[in-house]
């Protein structure tokens, strides 16, 4: 029956008009069954535009600006938001800080040759891998530890802010009966502070990219039959998790190409409120689909009975065929209306 695919087309079209790209009718149907949404933090629930809030050299002879420039030089070729914030804060780098052999270690940081020195900038796990002990940091924010030639030089604190509307988006999802989980590679203290601000009860921190896959696998194992799990992310490291989840949702404005390619749904303006809207559009679309199916079958069943009793004539048969199709198509067109959702 033509009204069924038209209902899905209407739902996908209505979502597109609101800045939500859904890559197929099957994903629209799964959105209606989604009962848990897992969020990455940086760039998804937060703005992803970091700013340096503290620079703490560990050696008296090393100035804060010198430490910042060394870290920025090591992060010169990285597209990560943390790296970009370091470069912005450091400004113009001295010509002597030439960067070569730069390597980005997913979930850890970067290593590079900077001005002839072996420099590493990243989290405490990177320092531990280099055999160095990073101090415990009580300040809230993302901490970038810096080392050079096997010596620990200090750390830099970078802060990010939640997106406007992120708390409301979480509240709306929870009001719809959706379980919300946050996964992040950030320190527990920072992750807990963001989760508390946004109203998220379940948060898992200090995760590597493969740890996020493990967490999603665990949550997938907990869901019941007919239920779906959605993962929301934006970075290149999120691509494996986006592919593994039942529904992968990517941020389209600032998200990486890998994340957008791997996702099933793309939010073109990075607004987390659109996640709840997409789910409501999908539920409305599925209601229209079932309305059309039940209405068409009911009318045809009645006409068959009337025909068997000798009561129905040709005009009743025409209505059961063409008339029902026209009414179902008009009903399917209601999927395009998403203004009141």
What are the catalytic residues? 40
3-state secondary structure the chain: CCHHHHHHHHHHHHHHHCCEEECCHHHHHHHHCEEEEEEECCCCCECCCCEEEEEEECCCCCCHHHHHHHHHHHCCCCCCHHHHHHHHHHCCCCCCCCEEEEEEECCCEEEEEECCEEEEEECHHHHHHCCCCCCCCCCCCEEEEEEECCEEEEEEEEECCECCCHHHHHHHHHHCCCEEEEECCCCHHHHHHHHHHHCCCEEECCCCHHHHHHHHHHHHHHCCCCCEEEEEECCHHHHHHHHHCCEEEEECCCCCHHHHHHCCEEECCCCCHHHHHHHHHHHHHHHHHHHHHHHHHHHHHHHHHHHHCCCCCHHHHHHHHHHHHHHHHHHHHHHHCCCCC
């Amino acid at each position: 029956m033509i009204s069924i695919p038209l209902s899905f087309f209407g739902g996908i079209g209505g979502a597109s008009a609101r800045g939500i790209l859904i890559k197929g009718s099957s994903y629209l149907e799964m959105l209606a069954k989604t009962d848990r949404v897992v969020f990455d933090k940086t760039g998804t629930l937060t703005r992803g535009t970091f700013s340096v809030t503290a620079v703490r050299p560990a050696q008296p002879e090393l100035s804060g600006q010198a430490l910042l420039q060394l870290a920025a030089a090591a992060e010169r070729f990285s597209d990560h938001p943390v790296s970009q914030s370091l470069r912005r804060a450091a400004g113009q780098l001295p010509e002597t800080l030439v960067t070569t052999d730069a390597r980005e270690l997913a979930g850890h940081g970067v290593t590079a040759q900077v001005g002839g020195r072996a420099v590493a900038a990243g989290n405490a796990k990177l320092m531990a891998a280099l055999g160095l002990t990073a101090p415990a940091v009580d300040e809230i924010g993302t901490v970038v530890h810096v080392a050079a030639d096997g010596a620990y030089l200090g750390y830099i604190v970078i802060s990010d802010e939640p997106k406007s509307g992120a708390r409301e988006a979480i509240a709306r999802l929870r009001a719809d009966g959706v379980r919300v989980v946050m996964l992040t590679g950030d320190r527990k203290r920072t992750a807990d502070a963001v989760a508390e601000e946004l109203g998220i009860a379940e948060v898992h921190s200090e995760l590597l990219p493969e740890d996020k896959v493990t967490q999603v696998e665990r949550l997938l194992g907990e869901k019941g039959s007919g239920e779906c799990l959605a993962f929301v992310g934006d970075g290149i490291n999120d691509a494996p998790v986006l592919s593994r989840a039942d529904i992968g949702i990517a941020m389209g404005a600032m998200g990486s190409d890998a994340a957008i390619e791997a996702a099933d749904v793309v939010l073109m303006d990075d607004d987390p409120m659109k996640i709840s809207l997409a789910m409501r559009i999908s539920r409305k679309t599925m209601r229209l689909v079932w309305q059309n199916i039940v209405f068409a079958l009911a009318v045809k069943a009645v006409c068959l009975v009337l025909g068997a009793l000798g009561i129905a004539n040709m005009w009743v048969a025409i209505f059961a065929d063409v008339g029902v199709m026209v009414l179902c198509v008009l009903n399917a067109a209601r999927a395009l209306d998403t203004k009141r959702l």
